[in-house]
């Protein structure tokens, strides 16, 4: 009985995490609690021969107030079910608070990437953006991951920023 309840709870958490990858996203704010991590399933991998770089906010930026994260990819756009999520950590205590999920990535023109942004280290980038539904909470650090609706944990994009 105990295992049946635990399995059902795990399925609900995983389903909620996948559903939160929709257009509204889930953002950690001072008045909300980030989503817990779903139960590990198939680990995510970037598409073969695809380069991905977070360009905004710039890696290790501080005082970030935007609610979007932009990436550059090459040679082609990411699959249509790709999204970003962040691990939210309290900056002062280094306590992991949970995870926030952005909307499915959409292709945007370079002119829509806020400045300053990072120049990707590869030629002919395609820019994609994920909306986290507003501004990020204060005094937190966010580490960026790439995922899709069929895998977890995501690919660590080696980029973090703080508010």
**Do residues 87 and 70 lie in contact, with contact meaning Cβ atoms separated by under 8 Å?**
no
Q: State the Cα–Cα distance between residues 106 and 125, nearest whole angstrom.
A: 14
pLDDT exceeds 80 at position 97: yes
pLDDT in the model for residue 40: 59
Q: State the Cα–Cα distance between residues 142 and 160, nearest whole angstrom.
A: 5
Average pLDDT, the chain: 80
Q: State the Cα–Cα distance between residues 41 and 153, nearest whole angstrom.
A: 7
pLDDT exceeds 50 at position 2: no
Q: Report residue 1's pLDDT band, with 50, 70 and 90 as the boundaries.
A: very low
pLDDT in the model for residue 158: 96
Return the number of other C-beta atoms located less than 10 Å from residue 96's C-beta.
14
Average pLDDT over residues 96-102: 90
pLDDT in the model for residue 37: 59
Return the number of other C-beta atoms located less than 10 Å from residue 118's C-beta.
18
Reported as a single tens digit per residue, the pLDDT across 112-145 is 999 999 999 999 999 999 999 877 878 899 999 9
Q: State the Cα–Cα distance between residues 57 and 43, nearest whole angstrom.
A: 25
Reported as a single tens digit per residue, the pLDDT across 23-44 is 333 444 333 455 555 665 788 9
């Amino acid at each position: 009985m105990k295992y049946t309840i635990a399995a059902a709870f795990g399925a609900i958490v995983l389903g909620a995490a996948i559903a939160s990858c929709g257009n509204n996203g889930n953002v950690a704010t001072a008045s909300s609690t980030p989503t817990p991590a779903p139960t590990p399933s198939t680990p995510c991998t970037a598409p073969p021969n695809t380069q991905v770089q977070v360009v905004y906010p710039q890696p290790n930026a501080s005082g970030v107030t935007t609610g979007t994260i932009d990436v550059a990819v090459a040679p082609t756009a990411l699959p249509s079910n790709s999204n970003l999520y962040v691990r939210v950590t309290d900056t002062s205590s280094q306590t992991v608070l949970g995870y926030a999920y952005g909307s499915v990535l959409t292709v945007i023109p370079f002119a829509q990437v806020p400045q300053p942004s990072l120049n990707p280290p590869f030629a002919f980038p395609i820019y994609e953006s994920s909306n986290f539904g507003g501004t990020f909470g204060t005094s937190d650090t966010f580490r960026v991951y790439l995922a899709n609706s069929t895998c977890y944990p995501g690919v660590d994009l080696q980029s973090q920023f703080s508010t």
